Amino acid sequence: MAKKETVNLIDTFSEFKELKNIDRKTFIGVMEESFRSVIAKMFGTDENYDVIVNPDKGDFEIYRNRTVVADNELKNPNLEIAYSEARQIDEECELGEEITDKVNFLDFGRRAILNLRQTLASKILELQKEGIYNQYKELEGQIVSAELYQIWKKEMLLIDEDGNELYLPKTEQIPGDFYHKGDMVRAVVAYVDNTNNNPRITLSRTSPLFLQRLFECEVPEVHDGLITIKKIARIPGERAKVAVESFDERIDPVGACVGVKGARIHGIVRELRNENIDVINYTNNTTLFITRALNPAKVSYVELDEENKKADVYMHPEEVSLAIGKGGLNIKLASMLTGYEIEVFRQIDNDAEEEDIYLDEFTDEIDEWVIDAFKAIGCDTAKDVLRISREDLIKRTDLEEETIDNVISILKAEFEE
């Protein structure tokens, strides 16, 4: 009967182990430690005990080592054994020797068994929590899917396929998010806390990283590293700007991200509750990057204050509203994307400016690649170029001084005539 109860005891723990997804070796170690903990509480020490867990047979064995002493000198029955009792185990034993006998844990009584169960459950719970923390710590920054279990005022509780609890705070939800209990929710693991060995996994759908991971899922070239997402600026649920770059000249990074008729980006937009996404080509040329970031507005020219990270952008009056965007979103996102505080100014038209000439009209005197260099910094007309100082032109276009002087001379001559 005792043997059967012992086997049932280990079977119960084995089932618990499988449910909690704890590996075999760790579980054996926890069991041994739990037995020793209970024995130490009962007798003050567990040093003279050997605990052997046999997972193949599904049972365990406990052996106690005691020193043989004379019958009238027995003081500690846990560490010592009377000579007469020892001879019943080994007839050839002698005083002072150490003798080992097998112990039936069930003989320790019901309280010992309850203590063992509680100790084991507590240790397994600690291991489980540690496992959850380690699992999700490795998943920080990655997208996970979980089922919505409960909605509270400040956050939502989600349950993953293993039954782990995940939290999506209201502040990390897209304003247009609307879910029912039982819905599957996709989000990125924002951060994982483990205060007092109590892991808390916090998700986010508003993080720029969530948008980046969605691009990696939807655009194979991004996933494979052929296209790099350099920067992301995002106002969740409203609009986002994504700067992309490809080191393979055969790949159009913007076209690849958008897809044929917007097929690729449509899935991302739908996941983000119809958040508008502008994809632009990244460049190290700050002026050109700011110009692209203000798309769809057309920029006439840009004056940079690199030390204070400020940019004054000039454009025709009809372009200003496009540059600012509805509710100021476009200029705000452009500032976030470029890292510059952008101010937009109306380009004043007067009689002199009405006489302005597009640079393309000078192809007979200026090489096209030189004209392209000026266009890259936002100069489309002769007046755009002449409005900028010689030193700034050299710095921004990276053209030779002689080339700059020649262009300035040609353009000035045109207006002097």
pLDDT tens, position by position, 204-238 = 999 999 999 999 999 999 999 999 999 999 999 99
- Assign 2 a pLDDT band (cuts: 50, 70, 90): very low
Question: Of 36-45, 144-153, 208-217, 283-292, which range is least confident?
Answer: 36-45
pLDDT value of residue 16: 54
Exposure pattern of 316-349 as b/e (b: 16+ CB <10 Å)?
Answer: eeebbebbbbeeebbbbbbbbbbebebebeebee
Residues found in the chain:
417
On whether the CB atoms of residues 371 and 382 are closer than 8 A, the answer is no
Arithmetic mean of pLDDT, 257-271: 92
Arithmetic mean of pLDDT, 391-412: 89
Distance CA 265, CA 272 (A): 11
pLDDT value of residue 347: 76
* CATH number of this structure's domain 2-133: 3.30.1480
CA–CA distances in Å: residue 409 to residues 41, 301, 366, 405, 414 = 96, 20, 11, 6, 9
On whether the CB atoms of residues 156 and 150 are closer than 8 A, the answer is yes
- Dump pLDDT digits (tens) for 24-44: 777 778 888 888 888 888 888
CA–CA distances in Å: residue 383 to residues 38, 41, 200, 392 = 89, 91, 60, 15
In the block, residue with structure tokens 């005691």: 66
Q: Does the pLDDT of residue 12 top 60, yes or no?
A: no
On whether the CB atoms of residues 384 and 415 are closer than 8 A, the answer is no
Mean pLDDT of the residues in the chain: 87
pLDDT value of residue 57: 64
* CATH number of this structure's domain 139-206: 2.40.50.140
pLDDT value of residue 4: 46
pLDDT value of residue 133: 92
Question: Of 37-41, 102-106, 143-147, which range is least confident?
Answer: 102-106
Q: Does the pLDDT of residue 9 top 80, yes or no?
A: no
Distance CA 167, CA 331 (A): 33
Distance CA 362, CA 368 (A): 9
| Architecture in CATH for domain 351-416 | Orthogonal Bundle (1.10)
Residues with Cβ < 8 Å from 177, sequence gap 6 or more? 205, 273
- Assign 195 a pLDDT band (cuts: 50, 70, 90): confident
CA–CA distances in Å: residue 93 to residues 83, 86, 310 = 8, 7, 93
- Assign 5 a pLDDT band (cuts: 50, 70, 90): very low
Gyration radius (Cα) of the chain, Å: 37
Tell me where in the chain the CATH 3.30.1480 domain(s) lie. Answer: 2-133
Question: Of 13-17, 30-34, 41-45, 338-342, which range is least confident?
Answer: 13-17
User: And the tokens for 348?
Assistant: 């004043």
Q: Does the pLDDT of residue 402 top 80, yes or no?
A: yes
Arithmetic mean of pLDDT, 346-361: 67
Q: Does the pLDDT of residue 144 top 90, yes or no?
A: yes
pLDDT value of residue 22: 65
Task: Name the phi and psi angles at 181, rounded to 5.
Answer: -60, 130
* Full 3-state SS string of the chain: CHHHHHHHHHHHHHHHHHHHCCCHHHHHHHHHHHHHHHHHHHHCCCCCEEEEEECCCCEEEEEEEEEEECHHHCCCCCCEEEHHHHHHHCCCCCCCCEEEEEECHHHHCHHHHHHHHHHHHHHHHHHHHHHHHHHHHHCCCCEEEEEEEEECCCEEEEECCCCCEEEEEHHHCCCCCCCCCCCEEEEEEEEEECHHHCCEEEEECCCHHHHHHHHHHHCHHHHCCCEEEEEEEEECCCEEEEEEEECCCCCCHHHHHHCHHHHHHHHHHHHCCCCEEEEEECCCCHHHHHHHHCCCCCCCEEEEECCCCEEEEEECHHHHHHHHCHHHHHHHHHHHHHCCEEEEEECCCCHHHHCCCEHHHHCCCCCHHHHHHHHCCCCCEHHHHHCCCHHHHHHHHCCCHHHHHHHHHHHHHHHHC
Do β-strands 200-204 and 227-235 pair in parallel, antiparallel, or remain unpaired? unpaired
- What percentage of the chain carries pLDDT values higher than 90? 45
Q: Does the pLDDT of residue 56 top 80, yes or no?
A: no
- What percentage of the chain carries pLDDT values higher than 70? 91
CA–CA distances in Å: residue 199 to residues 125, 129, 190, 202, 256 = 12, 6, 13, 10, 39
